Structure 1
Amino acid sequence: MSAILSTNPRLRPMRHEDLDEIMGVEVRAYPYPWTEGIFRDCMRVGYSCWVMTEADSLVGYGVMSVAVGECHVLNLCVRPECQGQGYGRTLLRALLEQAQGRNAQTVFLEVRPSNTPALHLYLSEGFNEVGLRKRYYPAERGREDALVLARALVE
């Protein structure tokens, strides 16, 4: 169970000026982080890129593509020292609200089976396993599969 947030986090579009701070979080949060170039490319091609702040401090961010009634969450990350406090759930819900506003009907994402906190979050938010991508993620000993999860955004 996540703790209740003490204040009201805000969502705003990601800016190029955010990338230094985002990269500082990314390299601490993931053993195989995205590069700054990947974030730049996502913004350049018009993906939906968001930053969550609280008291003017970056606590998380998310990147998703939205097209033809579908949303694909590509990256959802909370600053490591802020994890386990409800920020991930708040950020996920905010991203899904943005996707619904862009007429997405279904959302997809991949998650490492070994990332149990993220997996529990997604399952508790109504996602279901719909597939498996073999050897999708880099891992310490070769590659790790990805669980493909999906959730309807409209009833």
Structure 2
Amino acid sequence: MAIETACHEFPWSANTMQSCLAGRYFNGAIFEHEQLVGFYIGEVAGPDHTLMDICVAPAYQRKGLAKALLTDFIAASEQADAENLFLEVRASNKGAIALYEWAGFSEVGIRKNYYPSASGNEDAILMAMALSFGSQSSL
């Protein structure tokens, strides 16, 4: 929760975070000197996986850890034979959008007024990536 709170103006609640630690969710993490410094939460929805959250502690940002976490999310999804990957990102989060595009995600839609913000609400950009499993990919 400390990383979630440090990374987001409107962080998930502890209950939401706790509910994403089992069931249809899977997680990845990076530790530095036995301390958690970054994580992601993925969700399995049928043949598709969704990146629900990805965070790197502020002191460890800009060191390639988000790229490593995203690469791990994609690899775990490929290993599980997922067909498509999805995520939502704040329209203002240009750094994250560039990272997702680098990894192969493309914009597929917009959710208007999806995220709370200090000045009201902000749009979410929907991004997706089809994984290469022959004819299984549906995007």
Query: Normalized against structure 2, the TM-score is what?
Result: 0.90
What does 1:1-155 correspond to in 2, within 5 Å? 23-154=1-132
Q: One-letter code of the match for 1:94?
A: D
Q: One-letter code of the match for 1:99?
A: S
Two-structure CA RMSD over aligned residues (Å)? 1.3
Alpha-carbon distance in structure 2 between the residues aligned to 1:45 and 1:135: 29
Q: One-letter code of the match for 2:51?
A: V
- Are the counterparts in 2 of residues 51 and 60 from structure 1 also a CA contact under 8 Å? yes
Q: CA deviation at 1:124?
A: 1.1
**Structure 2 unmatched runs, 5+:** 134-139
Alpha-carbon distance in structure 1 between the residues aligned to 2:94 and 2:88: 13
- Identity over aligned pairs, percent: 35
Q: CA deviation at 1:44?
A: 4.0
What are the Cα deviations for residues 75-99 of structure 1, in whole angstroms up to 9, with x where unaligned? 0111111111100000000011111
Moved more, 63-72 or 85-94: 63-72
What are the Cα deviations for residues 103-146 of structure 1, in whole angstroms up to 9, with x where unaligned? 11110000011111111100111110000001110011111000
Q: CA deviation at 1:54?
A: 2.9
Q: One-letter code of the match for 1:152?
A: A
Alpha-carbon distance in structure 2 between the residues aligned to 1:55 and 1:105: 35
Q: One-letter code of the match for 1:138?
A: P
Query: Normalized against structure 1, the TM-score is what?
Result: 0.81
**Structure 1 unmatched runs, 5+:** 1-22
Alpha-carbon distance in structure 2 between the residues aligned to 1:67 and 1:25: 26
Alpha-carbon distance in structure 2 between the residues aligned to 1:139 and 1:117: 18
- Are the counterparts in 2 of residues 110 and 149 from structure 1 also a CA contact under 8 Å? yes
Give 4+ residue runs of structure 1 displaced > 4 Å after superposition. Answer: none
Aligned length: 133
Alpha-carbon distance in structure 1 between the residues aligned to 2:19 and 2:114: 21
